[in-house]
């Protein structure tokens, strides 16, 4: 069955995380993704191990888990675009592609004749997405940037971490490279929107996607608090600026998350906890009251929750329709019955002769489901196939290019 983007070919000149995240999303939607990699070394993340995928004898392969996590569904073509003949081949591939994704420094591909203005001359329908740290313009456009930098610059670390003055207080980054992931997600959305526009008008376009913009946009609800009040948001640790109680509480044997989003849920919590008088107290009965009197209420709740085990609270609170949850490590995540039911771990047959584990896409379609048939490619696995089939290159020419280390 044709998938949503099965008519689309993507030329992917990106590496590491943000760009490959975007192109993997497009591959999941059925696009043919041709990943251009450096001969001999490939995408930087191929060497970002251990851990590496193990072969059937339990020995490490050369396939790093990091690379595997964002490159399924793609074809790997090795091509040295620093050389004129490699640039010519890249331009020929771009002429036969619908989308190009790149994450070079601003202006980096212009010196190779691979900028948008170069490629649109021969392919005016091309959708060209540039992913950079700071965008294509402005005083910082020339600067390189990494997720960690943007978590700080974009405000995320100012609201993440324990409160100042508390044990462990201070700024904290998120444990995932969230800026890269967000930029990849925004890039995926922007590209699919540009495809829809082109299908109506026949016109391609350029997409300027910045990591800084992405992480700032991510903070919109906290930023609007600042815009509306003039008060700069601070760190609340595991608490919430606008909802109380909404944080982690210690139990008799661990921790649970209590996420009470409205007044009726708070009343239900108090009933389950055997403290209905708290819900009747004017200081705590409403959300504004609980926010205003947070400093008095939270210590009371801490005492209550320490009296019982995590399992007790999770069972009783769920039965009382009070939002709550455990704090799972990733082993526990994939033991969760709901996670198993949703099939969030998948395995794809890999060229190394073993199944390659992967995390399923959250996109669920009733008519065009995501398929998991194409594993992350070996370096250069599809070079000859793609250049032969798409550009009509004969074996003799491919042998010549290989001898010159162009491919």
Concatenated DSSP letters of 204-232: -EEEEEEHHHHHHHHTHHHHHHHHHH-PP
* Contact indicator for 45, 17 with CB cutoff of 8 Å: yes
Q: Work out the number of other CB atoms within 10 angstroms of the CB of residue 353.
A: 10
Answer positive or negative: Cα dihedral of 74, 77, 80, 81: negative
List, in order, residues 6 or more apart from 304 with CB less than 8 Å away. Answer: 273, 275
Closest by CA to 22, choosing from 98, 127, 129, is 129
User: pLDDT at residue 33 above 90?
Assistant: yes
Of 34-43, 165-174, 315-324, 336-345, the one with minimum mean pLDDT is: 165-174
Tell me whether residue 376 is exposed, middle or buried, using C-beta atoms within 10 angstroms of its C-beta: 0 to 12, 13 to 18, 19 or more: buried
Tokens found for residue 322: 């009070």
User: pLDDT at residue 31 above 80?
Assistant: yes
pLDDT at position 240? 87
Tokens found for residue 102: 């790149």
The residues carrying an active-site annotation are 180
Residue 258 three-state SS: strand
Across 323-338, average pLDDT: 96
Segment 236-265, tens digit of pLDDT: 888 888 899 999 999 999 999 999 999 999
User: pLDDT at residue 1 above 80?
Assistant: no
Q: Work out the number of other CB atoms within 10 angstroms of the CB of residue 324.
A: 21
Name the phi and psi angles at 225, rounded to 5.
Answer: -60, -45
Place 163 in a pLDDT band, splitting at 50, 70 and 90. confident
**52 membership: H or E segment, kind and range:** strand 52-54
SS3 content of the chain, % helix, strand, coil (to 5): 40, 15, 45
Percent of the chain past pLDDT 90, that is, above it, reads: 94
Tell me how far CA of residue 36 lies from CA of 53, 79, 113, 327, in angstroms. 22, 6, 16, 39
Segment 137-150, tens digit of pLDDT: 999 999 988 999 99
* Arithmetic mean of pLDDT over the chain: 96
Pairing assessment for the beta strands 205-210 and 127-132 based on DSSP bridges: parallel
Q: Please tell me the pTM assigned to this model.
A: 0.92
């Amino acid at each position: 069955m044709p998938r949503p983007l099965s008519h689309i070919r993507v030329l992917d000149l990106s590496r590491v995380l943000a760009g490959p995240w975007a192109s993997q999303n497009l591959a999941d939607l059925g696009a043919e993704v041709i990943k251009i990699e450096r001969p001999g070394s490939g995408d930087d993340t191929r060497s970002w191990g251990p851990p590496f995928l193990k072969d059937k004898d339990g020995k490490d392969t050369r396939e790093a888990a990091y690379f595997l996590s964002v490159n399924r569904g793609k074809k790997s073509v090795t091509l040295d675009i620093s050389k004129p003949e490699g640039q010519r081949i890249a331009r020929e591939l771009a002429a036969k592609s619908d989308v190009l994704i790149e994450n070079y420094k601003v202006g980096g591909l212009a010196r190779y004749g691979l900028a948008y203005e170069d490629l649109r001359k021969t392919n005016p329908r091309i959708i060209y997405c540039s992913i950079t740290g700071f965008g294509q313009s402005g005083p910082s456009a020339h600067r390189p940037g990494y997720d960690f930098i943007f978590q700080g610059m974009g405000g995320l670390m100012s609201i993440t971490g324990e409160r100042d003055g508390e044990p462990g207080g201070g700024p904290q980054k998120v444990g995932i490279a969230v800026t890269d992931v967000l930029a990849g997600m925004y890039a995926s959305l922007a590209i699919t929107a540009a495809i829809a526009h082109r299908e109506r008008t026949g016109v391609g376009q350029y997409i300027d996607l910045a990591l800084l913009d992405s992480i700032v946009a991510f903070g919109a609800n906290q930023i609007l608090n600042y815009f509306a009040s003039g008060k700069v948001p601070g760190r609340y640790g595991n608490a919430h600026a606008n909802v109380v109680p909404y944080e982690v509480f210690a139990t008799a044997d661990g921790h649970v998350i209590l996420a009470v989003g409205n007044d009726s849920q708070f009343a239900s919590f108090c009933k389950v906890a055997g403290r209905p008088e708290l819900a009747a107290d004017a200081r705590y009965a409403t959300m504004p009251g609980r926010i205003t009197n947070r400093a008095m209420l939270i210590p009371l709740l801490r005492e209550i929750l320490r009296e019982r085990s995590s399992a007790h609270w999770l069972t009783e609170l769920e039965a009382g329709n009070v939002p709550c949850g455990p704090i799972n490590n990733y082993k526990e995540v994939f033991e969760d019955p709901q996670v198993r039911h949703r099939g969030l771990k998948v395995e794809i047959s890999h060229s190394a002769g073993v199944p390659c584990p992967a995390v399923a896409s959250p996109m669920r379609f009733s008519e065009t489901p995501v398929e998991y048939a194409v594993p992350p490619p070996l370096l250069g696995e599809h070079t000859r196939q793609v250049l032969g089939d798409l550009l009509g290159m004969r074996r003799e020419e491919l042998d010549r290019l290989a001898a010159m280390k162009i491919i």
